[in-house]
Amino acid sequence: MRIAVLASGRGSNFQALLDAANSGESNGQFDGEFVGVFSDRPEAPVLQRAATAGIPAWSAAPAGFASRAEFDAALFSAITAIQPQLIVMAGYMRIVSEAHVAQWRGRMINIHPSLLPKYTGLRTHARVLAAGDAEHGATVHFVTAQLDGGPPIAQARIGVQPGDTTATLAQRVLGREHPLLVATVAAIAHGDIALADDSVLYRGRPLAMPLQLDAQGALQRTDGNPHPP
């Protein structure tokens, strides 16, 4: 599968995908080719990771464009030119205009550090602590026009411990984000996941609840609709 990655920062989620695709004796955990990395921050460390891996990168600062529409037109024309089959937003900190979201519907996913639908947007770790939640985590979802609001595909959960800070939560959630994103992209590459209208199909059947990442890094169906072996 030809995969494009959008990222704004450090790129540890991108690195996890890259390592998983290239690991092992054969093709690794999934058969994926990273055809481009795209960023709205020309100084983002993710671009260095792309260069090290020999993957083409594109970046531009939105300040150099007259509008969001113009920036997105340039970005998505660069993306379309490399013909990806899947776009992964891995820490891409910018809203994408609706026309492009619609164009890539069902083929663009995002990872968000909360158990959606809780805590869309920013500062998720601080908001979990302020609310006194016992549980936190991350979600991979299809991208729609609603910010962090598209149909969820899979989640990873962690317990919130006494003494946790935003830094400890961010670190533990990130440690689960990596296997969550790898397992979800692997399932998509394998043809197990699709978007039909507003529901996610897993092996052809609608998910009533997002898949859950288990301790071994495998995705499990938990909505009482077990998948065939």
Judge whether 178 counts as a catalytic residue.
Answer: no
Stretch touching ligand GRF by CB under 6 A, among 10-18, 63-71, 100-108, 186-194: 10-18
According to the binding rule CB under 6 A, does residue 175 interact with ligand GRF?
A: no
According to the binding rule CB under 6 A, does residue 150 interact with ligand GRF?
A: no
Least gap, CB of 2 to ligand GRF (angstroms): 20
In the set 112, 125, 136, 178, the catalytic residue is: 112
Least gap, CB of 75 to ligand GRF (angstroms): 17
According to the binding rule CB under 6 A, does residue 10 interact with ligand GRF?
A: yes
* Residues with Cβ within 8 Å of residue 162, at least 6 apart in sequence: none
Dist. CA 205–CA 202, nearest whole Å: 5
Radius of gyration, alpha carbons of the chain: 17
Backbone phi, then psi, for 196, in 5-degree steps? -125, 120
- Among 7, 96, 186, 193, interactor with ligand GRF by CB under 6 A: 7
What track of x and - describes contact with ligand GRF for positions 83 through 102 (by CB under 6 A)?
-------xx-----------
User: Which is closer to ligand GRF, CB of 9 or CB of 206?
Assistant: 9
- Among 41, 49, 100, 112, interactor with ligand GRF by CB under 6 A: 112
In the chain, the N- to C-terminal Cα span, in Å, equals 23
- Among 3, 5, 6, 11, interactor with ligand GRF by CB under 6 A: 11
User: Which is closer to ligand GRF, CB of 44 or CB of 207?
Assistant: 44
According to the binding rule CB under 6 A, does residue 12 interact with ligand GRF?
A: yes
Least gap, CB of 81 to ligand GRF (angstroms): 24
- Chain residue at closest Cβ approach to ligand GRF: 91
Catalytically active residues are: 112
